[in-house]
């Protein structure tokens, strides 16, 4: 897959493109349907499938305090796009100048003149251009004038839930991991580097890897989770605690701690990916370390169940 790290400064090759456009955070079931439509349109029309996305969420520039956490970092997003069939991806650098471009000018100058767009696929809620005035209907109207087709992907639902990035973030935040995973079409995951903690887990016989929380990563709500931990090419069943470790009366700092079942070795400084499979329970304070150890043994037994 070819990746352009910004809007090309010159027109792409004469080959026409079927272009899917959006932020694509999460590459969830709705995004996957959009990409499928792009690939199908390209195959049926002799075009190249290209996805147009951004290096960050627009709210990071427009209103940073409201910018959402990320379901997928850029590296993961690009990998998922490639798996879905994209041959080219433009990762536009989001700048005040780009955000202030009128929607009509964006379509003419970028979509048509630079990308040689012949077919556009956009989601039903997609907005673009200055003041977010660009809509799928506007794309249809301009396309009729400039010679490209527009396909609008309607909401994709699972059990009455619409697959949108914002809804998945809400579900994760309120502990509804199973529903969030269904809308994603895979387990939600985060990747972090293992850093040194206080070593509490090792002293009670359940050593944990303390992950440095990635910048602006969307975390599931506080609680204990069954997960798969991936280290290099190897996967291990894991119990993950996201919380404040209330049993030890420590300073309330949010931590992500993973006990990798069956792992032997040193993880410090290594990268670990956690795939969250099931929420086991809420985080809670125990009356004694022995009570905590008993509960952890039960958590480990459940994590070793059918995966």
The residues annotated with a catalytic role in the active site are: 257
Let me know: does 87 contact 93? Beta carbons within 8 Å.
no
CA distances in angstroms from 72 to 2, 68, 75, 187, 252, listed in the order given = 19, 12, 8, 12, 27
Q: State how far the Cα of 69 lies from the Cα of 56, in Å rounded to an integer.
A: 11
How would you classify residue 275: left for phi > 0, otherwise alpha for psi between -120 and 50, otherwise beta?
A: beta
Take residue 4 and report the two structure tokens written for it.
């352009």
How would you classify residue 300: left for phi > 0, otherwise alpha for psi between -120 and 50, otherwise beta?
A: alpha
Q: State how far the Cα of 245 lies from the Cα of 225, in Å rounded to an integer.
A: 14
Q: State how far the Cα of 29 lies from the Cα of 52, in Å rounded to an integer.
A: 18
DSSP state of 144: H
Please, what is the end-to-end C-alpha distance for the chain in angstroms? 32
Beta-sheet pairing, 223-231 with 271-281: antiparallel
Angle at which helix 177-184 crosses helix 165-173, to 10 degrees, equals: 160
How would you classify residue 24: left for phi > 0, otherwise alpha for psi between -120 and 50, otherwise beta?
A: left
């Amino acid at each position: 897959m070819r990746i352009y790290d910004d809007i090309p400064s010159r027109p792409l090759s004469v080959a026409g493109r079927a272009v899917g456009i959006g932020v694509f955070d999460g590459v969830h079931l709705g995004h996957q349907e959009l990409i499928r439509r792009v690939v199908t349109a390209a195959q049926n029309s002799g075009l190249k499938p290209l996805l147009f996305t951004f290096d960050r969420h627009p709210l990071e520039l427009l209103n940073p305090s409201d910018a959402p956490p990320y379901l997928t970092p850029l590296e993961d997003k690009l990998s998922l796009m490639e798996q879905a069939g994209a041959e080219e991806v433009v990762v536009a650098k989001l700048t005040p100048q780009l955000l202030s471009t009128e929607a009509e000018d964006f379509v003419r100058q970028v979509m048509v003149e630079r990308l040689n767009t012949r077919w556009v696929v956009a989601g039903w809620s997609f907005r673009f251009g200055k003041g977010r005035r660009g809509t799928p209907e506007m794309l249809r109207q301009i396309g009729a004038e400039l010679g490209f087709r527009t396909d609008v992907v309607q909401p994709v639902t699972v059990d009455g839930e619409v697959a949108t990035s914002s809804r998945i973030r809400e579900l994760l935040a309120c502990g509804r991991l199973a529903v969030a995973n269904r809308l994603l079409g895979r387990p939600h995951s985060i990747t972090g580097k293992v850093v040194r903690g206080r070593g509490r887990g090792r002293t009670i016989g359940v050593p944990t890897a303390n992950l440095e929380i990635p910048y602006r990563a969307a975390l599931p709500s506080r609680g204990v989770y069954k997960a798969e931990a991936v280290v290099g090419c190897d996967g291990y069943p894991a119990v993950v605690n996201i919380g404040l470790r209330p049993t030890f009366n420590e300073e309330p700092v949010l931590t992500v701690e993973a006990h990798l079942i069956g792992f032997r070795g040193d993880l410090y400084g290594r990268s670990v990916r956690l795939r969250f499979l099931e929420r086991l329970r809420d985080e809670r304070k125990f009356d004694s370390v022995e009570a905590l150890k008993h509960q952890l043994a039960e958590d480990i037994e459940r994590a070793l169940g059918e995966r």
